[in-house]
Structure 1
């Protein structure tokens, strides 16, 4: 940005545009510039989100932590911090941040419970001694895949 290189709002907006177009390197560059000029919770939150998209969870965790430090009521940052921790198998730490997010914004529980269940199942699937919960999740997943592959009879078709 040659015209207004020191405008954090312009860099933030370009970060949003590039992130939506999946141009993550460009998004990171603009969000980083915006954070250097004017550190705020939204910029650090978005930096964390883009870093998660490019599998850089360690760096994302630092940005989610900074977003929460700058805005302790930002439930989404607490939640995504929890998700980043969970993606690394740090489930106990993740649970603390997820609980903090729910205290701030209780309506996060439904959409995020599915995300965490899927993430936990991925980590546990690597285990040679899965818990009963994980065994049930695996069975449900397998049943869903099988039933999705079985062709459905046409409507009105007679069964023999």
Structure 2
């Protein structure tokens, strides 16, 4: 199973990001556009793991969520990996209570290492991928502050191809404590 841990976005945020993609297209920007259904924030990409690792991963998520309250995030700004001049991935920036987001991600990261699960060594940059292999226009529109949303759960996703399309079904959801 190809797995990753992340945060899903509310439908209204996905719609706003889809509208922004359309705005980008009108500037002449092109590449491999991500579908609205696949918009998410990746906390940890795990890659190929056996199915019997799901209970261990689920317990790690449950533990990370057990003492955390729901928190606010918003989408604002546009950036690229490795940078905007040599972009191979164009993404929307995540703002808001990123200190809580980073804390949850770091706890999960440490717990995965303790369990002997391979993790990526690159630094964590919360983002939502909009476009890969981009050919960017000279002038890009600004991605203005979106509506805030609450993160209420951490999800173990499977990444699979169904009918030639990438899909991310949820395998396990760990609920954060209520606050808002």
TM-score bracket, normalised by the shorter chain, equals: under 0.3
Asked which structure has the greater CA Rg, the reply is 1
Give the TM-score of the pair, scaled to structure 1. 0.24
Q: Which has the higher relative contact order, 1 or 2, with Cα contacts under 8 A spaced 6 or more apart?
A: 2
Give the TM-score of the pair, scaled to structure 2. 0.22
The structure with the largest helix share of the pair is: 1
The structure with the largest strand share of the pair is: 2
